Structure 1
Amino acid sequence: MRAIELAHNRNWTNLWLESDSSLVVQAFSAASLVPWEEGNQCADKLANIGLGLDSFTFWNELPPQISSSFVDNRLGKPSFRFVYM
């Protein structure tokens, strides 16, 4: 929600929001609704970075910790995630 508020304040009209939260995943009642075979490494790495932060952080540039995943994503390289339930 903070990201949406920040985007609104900066008049950003095109947003792409992704979440890597297990609570979001649990909200789906049918496993067939979630495309488990492919994951977003950037979202996953940002979520892990966020776990270690103790205050709001905003980057004007791509965080260096996700640069290789970002490049792979832009090149269309597949990223597979397997979840065992």
Structure 2
Amino acid sequence: MVMDRREIDDECDRLVCAGGDGEEPRVIISRLRMAGRSTVEAIYMVSKIYDLSLSAAKEMVVLSPEWIGDLRSHVAFHDDLEGRSKD
């Protein structure tokens, strides 16, 4: 379920006004994953909710337990492609 930009902004605004519902970023990140948000959506939302740079939000999201498996598969895919290009 991918949200359009307006829906993402509306949800972010609600969470920003609620102070992230008083939750720590790790809890919000987990809720975003369970809600089926994409990595990009989660990074954008965490950045906006907690007033972080995109770089800081990306680090929080991709290194979280909820997304670390995706990171590992992306790195493995990249390494495989790089290895094939050298053959």
- Give the shorter-chain TM-score range: under 0.3
TM-score by length of structure 2 reads 0.27
Higher relative contact order, chain-length normalized (CA < 8 Å, sep 6+): 1
| Structure number with higher helix proportion | 2
